[in-house]
């Protein structure tokens, strides 16, 4: 069975600071990995995905993530936080059948 663990339910950064949201996965087959963002009272929006091509994946809004098989990690980063980045972020893993499982989420707060 596949699963992801997001380290840190709440991360707080200052505007302009580095954003780092951590995700570790467990999968018995080559995983497909995703980061989604959720704003209050909305659905999930795809930020980026890893599907076995380049290990460094660039997404929307300046976010990127690096797949590290040796560490079973897929951490999300952004060099400079913006106030509009404040939201809930979910890491997810799926198999080739699109059986997708989510982590518990990390709430990002951006301080002015």
Partner 1 sequence: ETGVTQSPTHLIKTRGQQVTLRCSSQSGHNTVSWYQQALGQGPQFIFQYYREEENGRGNFPPRFSGLQFPNYSSELNVNALELDDSALYLCASSLPGTYGYTFGSGTRLTVV
Which residues from 17-36 bind partner 1, rule CB under 8 A? 32, 34, 36
> How far apart are CB 25 and partner 1 at their closest, in Å?
14
Buried (b) or exposed (e) across 66-105, using 16+ Cβ within 10 A?
Answer: ebeeeeebbbbebeebeeebbbbbbbbbbbeeeeebbbeb
How far is C-alpha 73 from the chain's CA centre? Answer: 10
Nearest-angstrom CA–CA distance, 14 and 82: 8
- Among 15-23, 43-51, 59-67, 79-87, which window interacts with partner 1 (CB under 8 A)? 43-51
72 vs 107 by CB, closer to partner 1: 107
Is position 59 an interface residue for partner 1 (rule: CB under 8 A)? Answer: no
> How far apart are CB 33 and partner 1 at their closest, in Å?
10
Nearest-angstrom CA–CA distance, 71 and 76: 14
Is position 112 an interface residue for partner 1 (rule: CB under 8 A)? Answer: no
Give the interface with partner 1 as residue ranges (CB under 8 A).
32, 34, 36, 41-46, 49, 51, 90, 94, 96-105
């Amino acid at each position: 069975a596949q699963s992801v663990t997001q380290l840190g339910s709440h991360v707080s950064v200052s505007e302009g600071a580095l954003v780092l949201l951590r995700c570790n996965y467990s999968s018995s087959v080559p995983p497909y990995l995703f980061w989604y963002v959720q704003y209050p009272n909305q659905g999930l929006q795809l930020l980026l995905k890893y599907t076995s091509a380049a290990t460094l994946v660039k997404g929307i809004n300046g976010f990127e993530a690096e797949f590290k098989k040796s560490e079973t990690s897929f951490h999300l980063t952004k060099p400079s936080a913006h106030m509009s980045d404040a939201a809930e972020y979910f890491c997810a893993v799926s198999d080739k059948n699109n059986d997708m499982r989510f982590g518990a989420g990390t709430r990002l707060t951006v301080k002015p």
